[in-house]
A = this chain, B = another copy of it.
Amino acid sequence: MSITDRGVVEYIGAHADDFLADLRAWLAIPSISGDPAAAADVARSAWWLGGALRDAGFPTVEVWETPGLPAVFAEWPSADPDAPTVLVYGHHDVQPAALADGWSTPPFEPTDIGDRLYARGAADDKGQVLFHLLGVRAHLAATGRTTPAVNLKLIVEGEEESGSPHLAALLRERRDRLACDVVVVSDTGMWAADTPSTCTGMRGLAEVQIDFHGPSADIHSGSFGGAVPNPATALARLIAALHDEGGHVAIPGFHSGVGELTEYERESFAKLPFDESVWLGNAKSGAAAGEAGYTTLERVWARPTAEVNGIWGGYIGPGRKTIVPTSAHAKVSFRLVDRQDPEEIERVVRAWVSERVPAGIRCELDFGTGVRPCLTPLDHPALQAVVRAMGRAFDTEILYTREGGSGPEADLQDVLRAPVVFLGVSLPDDGWHSIDEKVEKPLLLKGAEAAAYLWEELAASRRGAAPGKDDR
């Protein structure tokens, strides 16, 4: 253990109780962004965090109003002229929670049981935001610095649990204040307590509603059935054609920008202790299925998909009604990877569908706003700095994961034109969006420790092969 590491560990050990007391105070504020009645609590949460950032020593702290709920911005410039600029992203709003949902303890009365702290937001995301305050203090104490080794910025939004409706606009408006060389997202987790890992990317998203219009009203399937196109049958044929027999998405041009996994990446995923029966239990599914030639983890992390999220048309009540329905509809979403572009996906899907609409069917396509995939190459210096920092904290090999979902991380990457890396210490069983959310206190302290090392590591990688803007 280096001198710095010992200093960090000692600082964190000495201040852990204060840190946890602060966290409990913050967790007691029910900052539920999805509940309009809780808007004042979300604001209170923002101001609480602002005060805590001030107390931690950040010279600049601002609460940023949005058309929705407020975000908190903080900045602590480095005295080093060549210091890279880092933006930490997190959120201070939480999912709804009530004792009546089945919680074992009141969700906004933080409760310690052994090493665990139970409360809504303990892991998602207040605990993982707050460890940065402890981390930067430990970083300074252990290195004897008065300013961080990086120009440290934080943006902590208040609407993540509501889909971050104003984040992209806020990022664009405040682009100059938020400018950075790398974004550190602390809103994810690790593979397991004994398998620390870092996320290297998230899938993007394109969504479309497909409306097939046939007869101008429901018509009698006896009088007309078999002699006019049935929009439900036509839509089923379209959906069936989304994939080929190997489960690959069959839309020409769809895979533009999709890179194949390297052997190193596949081996890295394969190192993760994976129990498919446990995974299937979480998926509430009886069998794994998907694209031929890929493992389950590769399918959800590194492969694009086409999923029917909903389908409807015709008579869906009890009993029978022998009609050819007037219309049929499907909501289809595509998960995207690598450099797939939601706008390009819209273009190729429109072209593909337009060639497949049978005579007598009128088709409408309504695309939502897409989300770009987010991926940092494994050899990126900023990602390697995260791996080194976590390795120092956990004293073991740090493995790589990805997220199958899609999040505001893509906006950070795209608007700020900076690579995104992930420092999160939550566990899969921490109860995000569920009852009995908790965080493992020793892991939160490991998160603070890794954060303390990360500013050193990023500054060092800047001096070596520094992460620059636009280098992904």
A residues neighboring B (CB under 8 Å): 203, 205, 207, 214-217, 219-230, 232-233, 235-243, 280, 282-291, 296, 299-300, 303-305, 307-316, 320-326, 328-331, 333, 335, 358-362, 368, 403-406
Residues in B whose Cβ lies below 8 Å from that of A207: 320, 322
Residues in B whose Cβ lies below 8 Å from that of A285: 214-216, 219, 224, 228-229, 360
Residues in B whose Cβ lies below 8 Å from that of A335: 221-222, 225-226
What is the bound-complex CA distance between A288 and B368, given in angstroms? 33
- Asked if B240 and A236 make an inter-chain contact with CB atoms under 8 angstroms apart, the answer reads yes
Query: CB within 8 A of A232: which of B225, B308, B316?
Result: B308
- In the complex where A220-B405, A221-B305 touch, is A215 in contact with B284 (Cβ < 8 A)? yes
- Asked if B299 and A325 make an inter-chain contact with CB atoms under 8 angstroms apart, the answer reads no
- In the complex where A215-B285, A290-B226, A359-B289 touch, is A221 in contact with B307 (Cβ < 8 A)? yes
Q: How far is the CB of A368 from chain B (nearest CB, A)?
A: 6
Residue of A215, A238, A403 contacting most chain B CB atoms (<10 Å) = A215
Residues in B whose Cβ lies below 8 Å from that of A324: 307, 309
Supplied contacts A205-B222, A315-B331, A320-B368, 7 more A-B pairs, CB within 8 Å: A222-B300, A227-B300, A237-B240, A308-B314, A310-B315, A310-B316, A322-B333
Q: How far is the CB of A99 from chain B (nearest CB, A)?
A: 22
- Asked if B296 and A308 make an inter-chain contact with CB atoms under 8 angstroms apart, the answer reads no
Residues in B whose Cβ lies below 8 Å from that of A215: 283-285
Residues in B whose Cβ lies below 8 Å from that of A359: 286-287, 289
Q: How far is the CB of A387 from chain B (nearest CB, A)?
A: 24
Query: CB within 8 A of A311: which of B228, B304, B312?
Result: B312
Q: How far is the CB of A357 from chain B (nearest CB, A)?
A: 11
Residues in B whose Cβ lies below 8 Å from that of A282: 223-224
Query: Would you give 17 A-B contacts (Cβ < 8 Å), ordered by A?
Result: A205-B222, A217-B284, A219-B284, A221-B335, A222-B404, A225-B300, A225-B404, A226-B303, A226-B305, A228-B280, A228-B285, A232-B311, A233-B240, A239-B240, A240-B241, A286-B360, A320-B331
What is the bound-complex CA distance between A336 and B170, given in angstroms? 62
- Asked if A236 and B300 make an inter-chain contact with CB atoms under 8 angstroms apart, the answer reads no
What is the bound-complex CA distance between A406 and B219, given in angstroms? 15
Residues in B whose Cβ lies below 8 Å from that of A286: 359-362
Residues in B whose Cβ lies below 8 Å from that of A205: 222, 322
- In the complex where A205-B322, A228-B283 touch, is A223 in contact with B289 (Cβ < 8 A)? no
Q: How far is the CB of A233 from chain B (nearest CB, A)?
A: 5
What is the bound-complex CA distance between A205 and B226, given in angstroms? 13
- Asked if B329 and A227 make an inter-chain contact with CB atoms under 8 angstroms apart, the answer reads no
- Asked if A203 and B222 make an inter-chain contact with CB atoms under 8 angstroms apart, the answer reads yes
- Asked if A320 and B291 make an inter-chain contact with CB atoms under 8 angstroms apart, the answer reads no
- In the complex where A222-B405, A226-B299, A300-B223 touch, is A284 in contact with B216 (Cβ < 8 A)? yes
Residues in B whose Cβ lies below 8 Å from that of A313: 308, 310-312
What is the bound-complex CA distance between A312 and B329, given in angstroms? 9
Q: How far is the CB of A355 from chain B (nearest CB, A)?
A: 16
Query: CB within 8 A of A309: which of B291, B307, B320, B329?
Result: B320
- Asked if B316 and A312 make an inter-chain contact with CB atoms under 8 angstroms apart, the answer reads yes
- Asked if B309 and A233 make an inter-chain contact with CB atoms under 8 angstroms apart, the answer reads no
Residues in B whose Cβ lies below 8 Å from that of A326: 284
Please give me the 6 A-B residue pairs with the lowest Cβ-Cβ distance, nearest first: A222-B405, A287-B360, A240-B240, A310-B314, A226-B305, A236-B239
Q: How far is the CB of A347 from chain B (nearest CB, A)?
A: 20
What is the chain B residue whose CB lies nearest that of A359?
A: B287
Residues in B whose Cβ lies below 8 Å from that of A287: 228-229, 358-360
- In the complex where A310-B313, A316-B312 touch, is A221 in contact with B289 (Cβ < 8 A)? no
- In the complex where A236-B239, A320-B331, A335-B221 touch, is A226 in contact with B284 (Cβ < 8 A)? no
